[in-house]
Amino acid sequence: MMIKDSTFGPAAEQLMQAGRFLYGQGWSPATSSNYSVRLGADTAAITASGRHKGQLMKADILAIDLQGKLLEVEGTAFNPDEKSSAETALHTGLYRRYPDIGAVLHTHSPAATILSKFLQKDGVLVVEDYEMQKALTGRHTHETELAIPIFPNTQDIDALAEDVDGWLNVHPDCVAYLIAGHGLYTWASDMRTCLRHIEALEFICSCELELMKLFRKQE
């Protein structure tokens, strides 16, 4: 399958801009993180593996199908040795599950890393009473619990994708998850909304971390 550059170009631009923003916030340091946007029903643009996310260029973005196979982009030399993100399967699994999502973002902020490491034993971060919860798709009040699962970190991405699937099968309204000592994943209808999710979740993670520090000081 050949992807049109008129489809790929704007998608790559969105990913480059997202990288500059997320790196600037300190949420995607060094070569950490990966980002994708949907191109069509069965295709996506995703960051290549190991690239610095604050300095992404068009050549750092690849087209794939939802099995993770590299696709050719019109007008661009095809290199079959290019590697899409090592965590491609976590992105494609979400696009296959939710036909209405258009973007997936994964970040490595200090707050998400520390909090997920600290709460790993609980397996879930449950928060409530944050007005900021309303920045997440489908949430209309602070008066509900927001449950963000925390999966153990692993280099076996297929096994992690299975863990994620298991959780989403029983929590279809979930919009994010943490990986212990690693980072955050979230997804949304489009890149703009997905960036909003990241900002809201980073805010909530930072608040939770500060609260924990306060309570520990009082102990």
Ligand X SMILES: CSC[C@@H](O)[C@@H](O)C(=O)COP(=O)(O)O
- 60 scored as a contact of ligand X (CB under 6 A): no
Q: Least Å distance between CB 124 and ligand X?
A: 21
Out of 7, 31, 76, 144, the only residue in the binding site for ligand X (CB under 6 A) is 31
173 to 202: interface string for Zn ion, x by CB under 5 A:
----------x-------------------
- 49 scored as a contact of ligand X (CB under 6 A): yes
Residue number with CB closer to ligand X (28 or 133): 28
Give the burial class of 55: count Cβ atoms within 10 A of its Cβ; 0-12 exposed, 13-18 middle, 19 or more buried: exposed
Size of the site for Zn ion (CB under 5 A): 1
- Spatial separation of the C-alpha atoms in residues 203 and 4, rounded to whole Å: 37
106 marked as binding residue: yes
| Interaxial angle between packed helices 88-97 and 157-170, expressed in degrees from 0 to 180 and rounded to the nearest 10 | 30
- Spatial separation of the C-alpha atoms in residues 24 and 16, rounded to whole Å: 12
Q: Least Å distance between CB 184 and ligand X?
A: 10
54: helix, coil or strand? helix
- 50 scored as a contact of ligand X (CB under 6 A): yes
- 34 scored as a contact of ligand X (CB under 6 A): yes
Q: What is the DSSP letter of 84?
A: B
Selected range binding ligand X among 2-10, 63-71, 85-93, 187-195, rule: CB under 6 A: 85-93
Q: Least Å distance between CB 32 and ligand X?
A: 4
- 85 scored as a contact of ligand X (CB under 6 A): yes
End-to-end Cα, the chain, rounded Å:
61
108 marked as binding residue: yes
Q: What is the DSSP letter of 152?
A: P
Residue number with CB closer to Zn ion (114 or 132): 114
| Interaxial angle between packed helices 191-218 and 110-118, expressed in degrees from 0 to 180 and rounded to the nearest 10 | 50
179: helix, coil or strand? strand
Q: Is the separation of the CB atoms in 33 and 21 below 8 Å?
A: no
Dig out the tokens for 73 from the structure.
């982009």
Binding residues for Zn(2+): 106, 108
As annotated, the binding site includes 106, 108
Residues that bind ligand X (CB under 6 A): 30-34, 47, 49-50, 85-87, 106, 108
